Structures are given as structure tokens and as C-alpha cells.
């Protein structure tokens, strides 16, 4: 199984918490410089050969120029991510909004992104909706679902055969009473209504604490509906920590469950206080190491232990693989592929150059009341 990872264009730009946006020296000034950063991460790690884009954040007048710029950096365009959560019209929802005019606006943007993806050579629409309600009685929950399915059916019918629809879920935020796609089950039910090219996207940050994500992976995989991942860490409750930084054993177990072909693997992180390009490199390295450890599991011995009811025997087989230090092997494989054996160490000249070229001045960060 070849490991291929998409890094997100939005992970290289300005980001922050719910309270402020923090800028860093050398931050990219446009999508072309965000792609440059993604190209450097791929050059150093050898397995991040795609960049996912977000629209309209990554809007350009000439998509061909953007496509060619990515190719020149050794990248292909990954999933296209529409944005239906920032416009004031979407205060009460986008594709589930009670107003048909707002729903039409949201659907038209989704259809626009289908065409954008076609021109860029992207093969996936990656959808997350902030739609939901904050109060009982705010809206009819069943009616909202019907509106959502109607919109998604129109989108799905417009997608060319080479594109698939990845449907993401989240149990909370910004809607805290009921999110319209709250869990993997509601996402799966929608996908089953749409067609075979509609699959569930699992975001590691979009779960309640205590959720067994690897079990979700196993079930969706068995049904052929696991479309991919947004990798981050849910300790923060969403997208803002390096994947594997808090619970690396969970990350290992997820890769263990991916016994067959790997689905689309996308990093979804908006680094706030750490250096962005370095943080993205570390995320890729953590994914490489988790994947390598999962490949070490003696699956025949594990199956035998499970058949014998050897509870701790099976658990120890997983621990033996997880506790193996695979860093030297991963470094050797990167070097053999023409990447860097120590990507973080080799990153510094690039960071110094982009700070010099893009500028080191940062403005005062905005926050509440500013």
C-alpha cells in the first residue's frame, strides 16, 4: 500500500482560535505561495504529493495557471472543498436553510466547485456543512434533512464519473442543539441514498470524547463507504493540533484497520501557535510512522490469538508493532525516494528564504472587540 497524503492549502495560511487570528513571518500571501509551501513539504517527506484546495479561499482568475503551478511543484490537486459557512446568508444554514433562495445560492456554489475540480483535475468534492440549529423549535429537523438530500442529489447528478463525493460529519459546533450531519450514521444514510460514488469522510477532530474511531473505520470499510480522512487531533475538539500529537496509539490503530487499499488521506489542520510548514512536516512524519508500524502487525498470529480467545495475547501483538521504533526505517525510505532523511532539519533554509521574500512584518492580531 503506497502512502499518499494531501496537505491542505488552508493549513499554510493565517489562522487562529475562536478568539484571535495569529500571523507568522513568512506566511503565504496567496494560493500560489500556499502551494509552494505544500510543494516543499512533499519534497522533504516524499509522500505529500497532493494539495487540497478550498473555495472561494483559493479563488484565482485562471485555474489553468494554478494547475500548472502545482504541477511545477511536483503536486497534483487533491480534493476541492466548498465553503458554505462564512457568508452572512448562511446564518441559519446553507443547503438546509428554510429560504429556498439561500439553498439555491449554496447549491450553485457546490455546482461551481464541480466545474472547478474538473478544470483542476481533482477527483473529489469534500463537503462539510456548518448547518444545524441551536434551539429546539428553531426549525423542523426532518424538513432540514429533506432539503439537504434534495440539494445533494442535484450535486451528485452533476458530478462527472471521475469525481466522488466525500461527506463529512460533526456532532457539534457551530450548531449546538442539532447538527444536520451529526455522525457517521447520518452521513452514511445520505451516501446510500445518493449512489456508489458518495462516501463518508472521517475527520478525527469531529467526534465526542470516548468515540471509538477505529471501529467506525472498520465498519465503513466493510461497507465500502470509507471515502477518506481529515487528519488532526480531537483533543482540541477540531482541526488545530498535529495528528498523532496526543493519541498516537489511536492513529496506529486506525492504520491497522485500513488493511486493504488506503482511502484518500488528507491533513486538515490550521496551526495557530506553532510554525506552520514545520507542523505540516511533523504531521506527515507521524502518518508515515503510524502506517509503517501498522504494517508490522503479525496478522496471522493475531487471528490465531483471537480464535483462541487469548485476550491479552492479541493485545500484545498490537503493542509489539506499536512500540517498534520505525524512525530509522522511515528515514531510510525517504532518502531512497529522494526526499530528506531528516525533513525538519532540512526545512530551515526554506523557512529563512520565505521570511526574507514574503516579509517578516505581522499586524496586530484581531480578537473580540477589535
Q: Write the pLDDT tens digit of every residue in 56-96.
A: 999 999 999 999 999 999 999 999 999 999 999 999 999 99
SS3 of 111, please?
A: helix
Beta strand spans in the chain (E): 5-8, 15-16, 21-22, 50-55, 76-82, 124-127, 132-133, 164-168, 178-179, 198-203, 226-231, 264-267
Distance CA 16, CA 362 (A): 14
pLDDT for res 366 = 45
How far is 37 from 88, CA to CA, in rounded Å?
Answer: 31
How many other C-beta atoms can be found within 10 angstroms of the C-beta atom of residue 243? 27
pLDDT in tens, 259-307: 878 999 999 998 888 899 999 999 999 999 999 999 999 999 999 999 9
For the domain with range 5-295+340-358, which CATH number is right: 3.20.20.150, 1.20.1090.10, 3.90.25.10, 3.40.50.720?
3.20.20.150
Q: pLDDT band for position 235 (50/70/90)?
A: confident
Would you state the cell numbers that stand for residue 301, as one nine-digit string? 498470529
Cis-peptide, bond into residue 56, ω within 30° of zero: yes
Taking only the tens place, the pLDDT of each residue in 37-61 is 999 999 999 999 999 999 999 999 9
For position 61, what pLDDT does the model report? 97
Query: Residue 117, preceding bond cis, omega within 30 degrees?
Result: no
Residue 322 has pLDDT above 90, yes or no: yes
Q: How confident is the model at residue 359 (pLDDT cuts 50, 70, 90)?
A: confident
Quote the cell numbers at residue 340: 530528506
pLDDT-derived band of residue 1, with 50, 70 and 90 as boundaries?
low
What SS3 class is residue 6?
Answer: strand
The least confident of 60-69, 113-122, 207-216 is 207-216
pLDDT at res. 276: 93
Task: Report percent pLDDT > 90 for the chain.
Answer: 86
Calculate what percentage of the chain has a pLDDT beyond 70. Answer: 96
Q: Is 199 helix (H, G, I), strand (E, B) or coil?
A: strand
Report the distance separating Cα 98 and Cα 114, nearest Å: 24
Task: Note the pLDDT tens digit of each residue in 176-185.
Answer: 999 999 999 9
Side-chain-side CA neighbours of 370 within 13 Å: the count stands at 9
pTM: 0.95
Which tens digit of pLDDT belongs to each residue from 131-147?
999 999 999 999 999 99
Pairing of strands 5-8, 132-133: unpaired
In angstroms, how far is CA 168 from the centroid of its own chain?
A: 10
Whether pLDDT at 310 is above 60: yes
What's the pLDDT at 166? 98
Q: Which residues pair with 6 in a beta bridge?
A: 50, 266
Joined together, the cell numbers standing for residue 11 give 493549513
User: Distance (Å, rounded) from C-alpha 283 to C-alpha 266?
Assistant: 11
| 3 state SS of 100 | helix
Amino acid at each position: 500500500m503506497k502512502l499518499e497524503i494531501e496537505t491542505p492549502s488552508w493549513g499554510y495560511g493565517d489562522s487562529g482560535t475562536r478568539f484571535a487570528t495569529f500571523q507568522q513571518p513568512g506566511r503565504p500571501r496567496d494560493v500560489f505561495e500556499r502551494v509552494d509551501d505544500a510543494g516543499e513539504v512533499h519534497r522533504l517527506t516524499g509522500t505529500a504529493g497532493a494539495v487540497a484546495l478550498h473555495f472561494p479561499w483559493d479563488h484565482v482568475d485562471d485555474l489553468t495557471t494554478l494547475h500548472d503551478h502545482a504541477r511545477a511543484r511536483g503536486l497534483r490537486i487533491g480534493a476541492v472543498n466548498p465553503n458554505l459557512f462564512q457568508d452572512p446568508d448562511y446564518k441559519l444554514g446553507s443547503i438546509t436553510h428554510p429560504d429556498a433562495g439561500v439553498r439555491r445560492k449554496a447549491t450553485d456554489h457546490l455546482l461551481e466547485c464541480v466545474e472547478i475540480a474538473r478544470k483542476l483535475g481533482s477527483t473529489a468534492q469534500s463537503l462539510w456543512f456548518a448547518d444545524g440549529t441551536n434551539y429546539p423549535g428553531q426549525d423542523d429537523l426532518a424538513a432540514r434533512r429533506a432539503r439537504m438530500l434534495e440539494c445533494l442529489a442535484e450535486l451528485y447528478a452533476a458530478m462527472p464519473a471521475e469525481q466522488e463525493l466525500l461527506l463529512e460529519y460533526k456532532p457539534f459546533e457551530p450548531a449546538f442543539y442539532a447538527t444536520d450531519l451529526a455522525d457517521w450514521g447520518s452521513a452514511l444514510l445520505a451516501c446510500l441514498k445518493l449512489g456508489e460514488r458518495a462516501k463518508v469522510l472521517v475527520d478525527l477532530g469531529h467526534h465526542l470524547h470516548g468515540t471509538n474511531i477505529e471501529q467506525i473505520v472498520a465498519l465503513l470499510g466493510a461497507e465500502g463507504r470509507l471515502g477518506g480522512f481529515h487528519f488532526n487531533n480531537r483533543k482540541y475538539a477540531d482541526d488545530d493540533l498535529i495528528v498523532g500529537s496526543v493519541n498516537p496509539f489511536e492513529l496506529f490503530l486506525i492504520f491497522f484497520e485500513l488493511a486493504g487499499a488506503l482511502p484518500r488521506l488528507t491533513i486538515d489542520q490550521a496551526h495557530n501557535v506553532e510554525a506552520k510548514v514545520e507542523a505540516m512536516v511533523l504531521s506527515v512524519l507521524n502518518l508515515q510512522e503510524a502506517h509503517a508500524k501498522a504494517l508490522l502487525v503479525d496478522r496471522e498470529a493475531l487471528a490465531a490469538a483471537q480464535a483462541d480467545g487469548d485476550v491479552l495475547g492479541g493485545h500484545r501483538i498490537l503493542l509489539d508493532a506499536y512500540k517498534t521504533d520505525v524512525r530509522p526505517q522511515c528515514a531510510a525510505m525517504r532518502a531512497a525516494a529522494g526526499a530528506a532523511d531528516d525533513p525538519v532539519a532540512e526545512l530551515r533554509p526554506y523557512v529563512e528564504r520565505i521570511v526574507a521574500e514574503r516579509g517578516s512584518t505581522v499586524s496586530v492580531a484581531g480578537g473580540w472587540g477589535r
